[in-house]
Structure 1
Amino acid sequence: MWFKAPGKVNALPLILFLVLSLLFALVSLYLESQERQRMASKARVVAHQVSNSIEVFSADRLRALEDLMITWPENYPNVTDWFNARAQTTRHILPGFDDILWLNQHLSIQWSSKHQRSGAPIQKALSELADPLSDPPAKTFISHLHQAGPDSYFALILRPVNPYDLHYGYIVASFDIKATLAVMIGELVGSDFNFQLYDGDQVLMVNGELNSSETVINQPVAFAGRQWQLKLQSNRGSLHIGYVVLAIGLMMSLIISIFVQRQLRSAFKLNQSQQRYKAASEASLDAILVFNAERKKGKICDFILGEANHMAQRIFVTEDKQLQSPRLSEQLMALRASTLLRICIRVYHSGRAHEQYLASGSRLVRAQWLKIQVVKAGDGIAVTVRDITARRLSEQALKDSEEKFRRLVEGLNGHFIYSHDPGGKVNFVSHSVRDILGYSAEYFRHNYQHCVKRGPDNDAQIRQQLAAGKRPEPYVVDYFTAKGEVRQIEYRDSPVFDAQGKLIAVEGIGRDVTADLALQQQVYYQANHDQLTGLYNRYAFDRKLNQVLEQIKQHKASATLCYIDMDQFKLVNDSCGHQAGDELLRQVASLLAGGIGEDDILARVGGDEFCLVFASLSVEQVKPRLAEMLQAIRGFRFTWGDKLFHIGASIGVVEIRADMANSVELIKAADHACYSAKNSGRNRYHVFDASDQQLNYQKNELEWVNAIQKALQHNSFVLFCQPITPFNQVAQGRHYEILVRMQNARGEMLNPGIFIPIAERYGLMNKIDEWVFTNTIDFLEQNPQHLDALGKCAINLSGMTLGNEEFLDKIVSRLRYANIPPEKICFEITETAAVTNLGSASRFIDTLRDMGCRFALDDFGAGMSSFTYLKNMAVDYVKIDGSFVRNMCRDRSDYATVKAIHEIASSMGKLTIAEFVSDQECCQALTALGVDYGQGFALGKPVPLASVVESARSLPSPVYG
């Protein structure tokens, strides 16, 4: 062969090494280029975020100072105290101020909020501000950069309290630039970037060194009237991926070349090994067949016969045309053993040998039984076939005989067969008794009476029935097992008579019913007890309470019912998780159970709610016990990890008298009293009084709950919609948000502000969300022309719904079979609900977005932490909270906030929607900022959804800008 020449054997690996080395060099150059572009893009985004954060920070502080000067008292008797209180409050609410000072009209310090006196160490800096004040008093802030040390800079801003009357003096605020920027820039940039921040020629802050070979991003930054310049550069570190790839590639090229060279050398020795193998194969008593692998598209699909010894011709009818095909698949098909092909492929891939016995039903095989072994052999497999017909037939005959008897006697799992004489002496028991009781059949046959713990109570009756030729009902006997355990065996006896009708034996089946009886007891226990605390559950407590009430009615006695609601349980559950909440409930249950008698009844009837019945005690007798119970609860401390919690309890008390109607009224009265205890300050008890005004208020609130439930039942809710108008997006069909109104008995539409808070408080929001979703989908399906013209339909979801996996399954199922494109459905969730339920919200969003639905984050902008959560939330739209939009044209801070939210959301690839757009001026400002959509009374008021189809005119859709 050509590779036998030593020169060519060495030349091929060398050429391969040079080609691979060149390839890896090109890859390393490409990776270096891509890495530089990625680092520059990353630095550009971070620089933009830093600029927005500093501008929002500055706008908030300037607005706070303007508010302080607007509310400046003119006739206050002690202006210094007033200024000190307001300045301290401002510094506490808005961190970042180094000091806030009040100067008189001669620039003398009247008061410093930092040093609590009229003197302050920035007197020199104030003197430098005198020149700008020589002109007419400024109506805006004057800024100044003051260097207090080699690396210490302060930004000062100054403005007269009243620009038209300098008698009131000036307000000065100072910012420690190094401390402020270390928090803001360090938090956003971290150690992944090098940067320099300049104020003119002054270097304010430096992190690392800028590398001249990498891209530097220059970003202007506005802070308190000063213009700064940020130079930012991504920090790649010392690791260059391109060079690493090149080094690894060269090493891999060398290893591959060495491997190829060794493989070529091994080929010289292959021919001699093949000759030895052929001689051994021909001498074997087994049929040996060697197959080479056949591939299609890189995968093993079949095997081609390479070699076969003479023994294969004795076992197989090789002269038949069906076996003359070289492919293994066709040969196996002729032999009716096609399943072996998959096994052969598995052996080839895994390398593990396979052995099996095969009954041959083909005329192409001279043997009835074959033993087949398959092993991997190079780039193929070797199959060894042996004729085992004689041995197999002999073994099979013996096995069939044994198997028939074993199935009859031992095949029942958890059962054994027995036979005893009329006197009870056991003559036979199957060996399966060992699996049940642990005794051998021989031992149990002679010593079964010593193993019995308790026999049947009706033993005499069973004997009489057997003697009379009747089969008794199944009965249970308790046994001690060999391990000392107790098992219950159920017997089913059948009498056996001779030809004269005399009872000669009793035969039957014994069945282990230990697990069944234990399961019955467990089911009964679980049906009546709380699994977490072990106390009675609500079902069992209702039954026990009715029994107590019946006894009181019969004996004219009395007892006392207490409804206990734990305070601060939700705090533990939310801050430490459900596992901590469960442990708290277990400890509280033990605490409550320690102070009651044997006849008293304690139950857990809700999440953190317990009911306690003091048997045969009046309210006056119970009061001292309740005082002790509350004292014990107040003294109880719950620890979880490094957290310590104080808890309390509110207890409603009602006396159980003979004139009480039923248990439902009792629990309801105790619940009312517990509600009053909570409203009275918690951690106390309250005795039920039907004339209590607080109970009447709660009753009125419960009537609202009843009205909401009736509205859900009778379909009394009405769908409204409000248009969402594009500002800087091309209109693609109607876009509106679904709203809901409740219709009362007089046909009046009730505003959501009335019934939504009550629905949230009493856990009905998920049902209202389900109603809105279902009816919206039904409406769209019933109006296909309107659906065709629809661009996006937004449906609100509450925080309770985000954690409801069952409702998520309903949404997925409904959308899957609805004739509505999922991309036309957008779900709105509030920022607060999303952050509170971040894990559930992310799972909810990911599931529906995979189907094609869109998501909007509603009421966005409550806090700067929102931007952190926004990065981790897969939403498509960000709805800017209306509190910022409403006054943005009159309030520079609101304007800056709207601008920052839009720019940051846009940088993350999300569209923005401004809420509460109330006038044309606001529309034009939002359009100029680049906000994508708007919603508010200036663009369209809410209207019934049905009117959109009934009316000939479409929803108003003005476009501004």
Structure 2
Amino acid sequence: MRYDVLIISDEQEHFKNFKQYASKIIKNINITLSFECEDVNDALEYTDLLIIDINVHNYFNPLEFYLERNIHTIFLVDYDLHLEKYSIIKEENILYKPLDLDKLILKIKYYTNLVDTNSVLKKEEEFSNSIINNIDYPIFSLANEKVIFSNDHFFKLLNCFSLEEINNKYKNITDIFEKEDGCITNFDNKIFEECENKNIKVCIKSNDTKKYFSLQKILLTHNNTSIMILHDISHEIEHKHELYKLLYTDNLTKFPNRAKLIEELQTNNLVLEAVCLLNINSFKEVNDFFGHKVGDSILIDVAKLINDKIKKSGDHIKLYKFPSDNYCITNTKDSQEDFIELIKNIVESVYKKVFIFELYEIDIRITAGISFSNKNNKLITADIALQSAKKDHKDYLVFYDELDKFQEYENNMLWTKKLKSAFINDNIEVYFQPLVNNRTLKVDKYECLVRLIDEDGKVVAPYFFLDISKKSNQYTKLTKIVLEKSFQKFEHLPFEFSVNISYEDIENPDFLDFIKELLNKYNVENRAVFEILEDESIKNYNLLISFVDEVKSLGCKVAIDDFGSGYSNFEHLLKMNIDYLKIDASLIKNIAINENSYKITKTIIEFAKNLNLKTIAEFVENEEIFNIVRKLGADYSQGYFFSAPMSIPNVMEYNENGDKNHE
């Protein structure tokens, strides 16, 4: 850095060699000598240090002129000069004549060092201010809870034009910041210490719009002060709010959803005294008939109607929109009678209201399940009450302990898990029970029965897992495994064999194709018998008849299982081209002790003979039962009197006396 020194003196001879002498001692110095300088005022503009002979200053300007210029000045003074009239000059600014040039050099060194220090500080401050003013963020500084510095962005943010206006508008620094969840408003020393290491979130209202910022503290070294930088994170916060809405708000009705209720229960320690689940009856039919646009409109209108009803009850009642056509009302106040009356009123109001969409007038009914139980999760017990109400065709039902099926649910989950494991480990096996020809007393056929081998190697009967397989959508997979293993087993055995299938299997579009694939793979088409359980699950007899005709055309046979169990459609049965009727076990096991069982069994056998159908009596447990069914004319017998189900088919032959001989 260069230092400009201006020397004004009439002692030309004295300073003639000073310029050269000084430049050797002090680097980066530029000395200008002025003896008759008329442009001294212009020269002062570029001067860092002025050395002037007090005897000649009036030649140029009054003394005050130089002192007011804020330039470091050294006055050269005669020893005998009376300085009383120059009292404004400080002693440290005086050098006496005759002049000692080395003392002058020291003075110049002192002031040039001072100029150097001040210049660095000044330039540092200018540099800092330049950076601060060019940062595109609101910046401010505080002292004693007042703003002592602000850049233009902070002024604009607060809609102010001066520090005085900011401090008048906001009596305390905390007044600048809005109270919002997750935002800091109390700016004490601890907060400032925290924001030195990490950003903290604040909210400021600007032109009636709330904006969110992260606050960062930066320490400035040149004057030991700190500035606060605000980084706008409003977009980020807005994005989080949008995600929050998507996660916790039903998109159609705009009411809080199930996830929101679960979140409140988990994080807000929400305690519910009552829960009600509501479901629109037969809503799928509305969607299918009128279309989803009408269905959506109804979902919205029902939500509004429910909300209008609960608003009158107080803040302790709240509505949530659950998935599909379900709603949930919660109550945090212990008022059971009032809550039940509210639900009854809602159900009745929905029933009375005619929902209009364009030209359609649609009547809607809803069913409600209510729970006050503390025994288990109220959402679960309310759902149990809702399902029970639907099953019993009631408008609403309050949960009571007799409805509790948690033990059943636990059992279902256990066997669902066991089934999954059995599929993975190939532990679904087929056992075989022989059917004896009542005329020849020889084994003509086998029924294939499914078994599950559990992790301990225990053989488990289908009683424990067959219904569970249907509830868990694993039944069709189970049927296919039994079919393939049965076909494989009897491909090289000279017996007919029967496999149980249900209407659910037949409904499956690819089930018949699967059978055809198996018949192509295994040569058993003239020995395979499909036992179909005829019960109330059958919705389409034409589909059933078509399936029977199809498998018969492939060379297989068909039996109707559990015939006479209380659900037999004789009209449709007559249309089916079946081969066997299996008389229900409940009739056969009581045939020796119950007259009605005997009469019904006799009627079935005679009915079958008239249709040229063979009959099979299952559950033949003892010789007495066997003799009765044989005498009545049943063609085949099956039961523990002959053999329990076995893991490998075996040939058994019976003589006329019923004695068992093994081949």
TM-score normalised by length of structure 2 = 0.46
TM-score normalised by length of structure 1 = 0.33
